[in-house]
């Protein structure tokens, strides 16, 4: 992992929004998962706690097969989201169930959910962090992709 690069990225995101995110929410935790998420709430200026995250992998016939699930911790992350040996080359979809998250705090959001679809591990294996800054009517998503894993 490259925590410094994600911190710099998130700092840039946060500076462009109104609600400041506390330093502690920008920490990343150690995880062996080659796919991670970092989901921040731009309304209350914190990491999103307890948001459902689903990862799908595209089958050869184009259908989406559920691959992994989890809930964000108070750091806005899902520890050990996927196993390295299972995370083979393919097209993946990370789905964040943001609707339920906002409804819990009394906000009716525009988006039903947030979906990020990307191709992973073509050419070589890498680590992927999906970093998202969410508001009820707006979302900013960036991928932080590592150098090849040797």
Give the nearest distance from C-beta 58 to ligand NAG in angstroms: 9
Q: Closest approach of Cβ 60 to ligand NAG, in Å?
A: 7
Cβ proximity to ligand NAG: between 38 and 57 the closer is 57
DSSP characters over 4-73? HHHHHHHHHHHHTSSSPPPHHHH-------SEEEEEEETTTTEEPPS-EEEEEEE-TTS-EEEEEEEE--
Q: Which is nearer to ligand NAG, 65 or 84 (CB)?
A: 65
Nearer to ligand NAG, 45 or 90 (CB): 90
The answer to whether the beta carbons of residues 51 and 144 sit under 8 Å apart is no
CB of 63 to ligand NAG, least distance (A): 4
Cα–Cα distance list, 39 to 108, 125, 131 (Å): 18, 23, 6
CA atoms 78, 51, 27, 150: torsion sign: positive
Binding site for ligand NAG (CB under 6 A): 59, 61, 63, 65
Smallest gap, in angstroms, from Cβ of residue 65 to ligand NAG? 6
Q: Cβ closer to ligand NAG: 11 or 59?
A: 59
Please list the residues that pair with 48 across neighbouring strands: none
Q: Which is nearer to ligand NAG, 8 or 65 (CB)?
A: 65
Minimum distance from CB of 86 to ligand NAG (Å)? 15
């Amino acid at each position: 992992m490259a925590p410094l690069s994600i911190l710099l990225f998130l700092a840039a995101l946060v500076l462009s929004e109104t609600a400041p995110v506390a330093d502690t929410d920008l920490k990343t935790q150690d995880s062996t998962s080659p796919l991670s998420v970092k989901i921040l709430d731009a309304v209350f200026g914190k990491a999103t706690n307890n948001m459902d995250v689903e990862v799908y992998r595209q089958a050869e016939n184009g259908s989406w097969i559920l691959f992994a699930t989890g809930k964000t911790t108070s750091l806005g992350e899902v520890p050990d989201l996927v196993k390295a040996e299972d995370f083979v080359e393919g097209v993946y979809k990370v789905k964040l169930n943001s609707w339920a998250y906002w409804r819990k705090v009394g906000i009716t959001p525009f988006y039903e959910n947030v979906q990020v679809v990307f191709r992973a591990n073509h050419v070589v294996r890498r680590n992927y962090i999906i970093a998202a800054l969410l508001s009820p009517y707006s979302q900013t998503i960036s991928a932080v992709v590592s150098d090849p894993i040797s």
